[in-house]
Structure formats: structure tokens, C-alpha cells
Chain A
Amino acid sequence: MSNLLFGYLGSAILVFSMLVVTSKNPIHSVLWMILMFFHLASLYLGLGAEFLAAIQIIVYAGAIMVLFLFVIFVLNIKEEMKGERFSAGWPIGLTLAAGLFLLTLIMTDTMLIGRKGTVTAEVLARETHTKAMGKLLYTDYILPFEVASLILLVAIVGAIVLAKKKLD
């Protein structure tokens, strides 16, 4: 990936993230978030992760963010937008986040890169990212895969039980 493209995608992601956190209307925040997800998916494409770029758009932008939009439409948005956006102690939160950011930024200088694996760019070009990931998911990671499906089932049942009106 060229420096120019990374510069554009990275700065766009940071600006959109800031807009998500600071905009007054939650609907605007969700829409900025969706735009940010598209840029993040392009970054994944540049890293050679086509399958993840696809599910980033399909699952995150397509499913999770639409769920957020539906819930915001259920809430009384006019009433919620009155009053302050940030809580009274926001300088403390800003200081904490900025301090943690600087600390970890300094620590990345001492980062050591481990031994490289076997899935080089040539291997990925030969058998595509999706196939390579599928092979790994259905062999070494079959148990976590099944557990993930169980988690999703529990989440669906739990969400319905929590959100449905009491019948009395």
C-alpha cells in the first residue's frame, strides 16, 4: 500500500472516529461510523485480508450498525438530545485517554517482531485468503467456531427475551 493511500485512509478513519464520539445526534454518529467502517475495510484489503474486509462491511456496517439505527429510532431522540453531550468530568476522561495514548505510543518503539509464519503473500495469492482462512477455521479452530455459533444463538434468544413486552 502506498504512503499516500495509507495517509488518506488513516486520517479519514481518525477524523470519522472523532466525529462519531463528538457529534450531538446519535444517528449522525452511526452514519459516520458506517463511513469509517468502509475506510477500515479498504485498509484490510490493503493488508491482504479480503474475507475480513467483506465481513467488516456485511456484518459491521450491514447488521450491527443497522441494529443501532433501529434502536435509536425506538428511543425518544428529541428528548435525549437536550442537555450536555459530555458528562461534567470530561477533562478527566480526556487526560486519561491522552496519557494512555502517549504511554503506549512510546512503548511501541521497544516493540520486537517475532518469527514469521508460513502464510506468505505468495501462498495467499495461490489459494486466496478466504480459502486459507476456511481451512484453518474448519481444522485447528473448529471448537472455537462451534462455540461462536452457540454464543450467537444465546445472544439471539437473550435479546428476544429481554426486549419483548411482558404478557400479563
Chain B
Amino acid sequence: MVTLQWYIWLSLGMFMIGIFGFLTRRNIVMMFLSIELMLNGVNLSLVSFSSFLEDLRGHILTFFIIAVAAAEAAIGLAILITVFRNRATVQIEEIKEMKG
């Protein structure tokens, strides 16, 4: 019998792999992919909680997260193309004008 905890551990694993990728990769495309990975980890935990609690509200929230992820990917990749056009690179360490 698969319990709720297994699903939560799996979603935690996905989220943490996403965090690792976001913190360590030098390419901005890969950072975006890591964000998508984190969003999917959260989606899995929402869907599993919702299914085990026999309530559909988690599924509704997952639906909205997917819509917002689509919007975020479109805007982020447009910014990425603009950065590449101006700087001819997408390495995060090359872009440091604001010294953040």
C-alpha cells in the first residue's frame, strides 16, 4: 500500500534537486528548468495531499500553478532572449552590472 508520506518524500526529492540546480548551474536556461522542476515537486505534493484528503481544492490550485508556470516561462524566456541579444551570453556570472 502506497502511503501519503511516500508521495511527499518524492515531491521533496524533486524540489531539493530543483533547488540544487538553481543554486549551482551557471546557465540561465538551466536555472529556469530547475524552477520548473521545483514547481512540479510542489504540484505533486498538492495533488497527493488533495487525493488522500478526498478534496478537489489541491487539484484546482495545481491547475492555476500550471497556468502561472506557463506565463512565467514565456516572460522569462523573452527576457533571456533580450539578454542574449544585448550581451551575447547567458552565463549568470557574466551579468553583474547591479553587483547583487
- List the interface of chain A (C-beta within 8 A of B): 1-3, 6, 10, 13-14, 17-18, 20-21, 26, 29-30, 33, 36-37, 40, 43-44, 47-49, 51-52, 55-56, 59-60, 63-64, 67-68, 71-72, 74-76, 79-80, 83-87, 89-90, 92-94, 96-98, 100-101, 104-105, 108, 111, 113-121, 129, 132-133, 136-137, 141, 144, 148, 151-152, 154-156, 158-160, 162-163, 165
Between A49, A116, A165, the greatest number of chain B beta carbons within 10 A of the residue's beta carbon is seen for: A49
Chain A residues with Cβ under 8 A from B14's Cβ?
13-14, 17
Chain A residues with Cβ under 8 A from B90's Cβ?
75, 80
Chain B residues with Cβ under 8 A from A100's Cβ?
16, 19
B74 interface residue (CB < 8 Å to A): yes
Between B14, B20, B27, B32, the greatest number of chain A beta carbons within 10 A of the residue's beta carbon is seen for: B20
A18 to B19, CA, bound (A): 11
Chain B residues with Cβ under 8 A from A119's Cβ?
54-56
Contact B68 A132 (CB under 8 A): no
46-97 of chain B: CB within 8 A of chain A? 47-48, 50-57, 59-60, 62-64, 66-75, 77-82, 84-85, 88-93
> Can you report 30 residue pairs joining A to B where beta carbons are below 8 Å apart?
A2-B2, A3-B1, A6-B2, A21-B17, A21-B18, A44-B47, A48-B51, A49-B47, A51-B59, A56-B66, A80-B90, A80-B91, A86-B24, A97-B20, A98-B16, A101-B12, A113-B4, A117-B56, A119-B55, A119-B56, A132-B56, A136-B57, A144-B64, A151-B68, A151-B71, A152-B67, A155-B71, A155-B72, A158-B75, A162-B79
A156 to B74, CA, bound (A): 7
Chain A residues with Cβ under 8 A from B62's Cβ?
49, 52
* Closest 10 pairs between A and B when the two form their complex, measured CB to CB: A117-B55, A93-B23, A155-B71, A21-B21, A162-B78, A159-B78, A97-B20, A101-B16, A93-B24, A90-B24
Chain A residues with Cβ under 8 A from B51's Cβ?
47-49
Contact A137 B63 (CB under 8 A): yes
The secondary structure that dominates the A interface is helix
Contact B12 A97 (CB under 8 A): no
Among B44, B67, B74, B92, point to the contact of A159 (Cβ < 8 A). Answer: B74
Contact A94 B20 (CB under 8 A): yes
